[in-house]
Amino acid sequence: MAANPEQARSLLTAASYVGGYGRARGRRFVGLFALMYYGTLRPAEAVGLTRADVKLPEVGWGTVLLNRRVPV
């Protein structure tokens, strides 16, 4: 069962409050969960991504190249 858009926004908001700001844990969670939701990635696919696999333009949607997956 997938989250609807309202549930996804609530999850991303809640994830941003995890940990302290200096440790950036919440910001990393927001990035991970947003990528999984909007990119429809499974956890093993999202964890296996590297910086080189993600292309984000200044405006518009980016692309993600799935090279590998990491069992979680």
Of 66, 42, 43, the C-alpha closest to 54 is 66
Tens of pLDDT, residue by residue over 3-30, are 899 999 999 999 988 887 677 788 888 9
Name the 3-class secondary structure at 38. helix
In eight-state DSSP terms, residue 52 is: G
Per-residue pLDDT at 71 exceeds 90? no
Instruction: Give the residue among 38, 29, 68 at the shortest CA–CA distance from 56.
Output: 38
52 touches 27 (CB < 8 A): no
Q: What is the pTM of this model?
A: 0.73
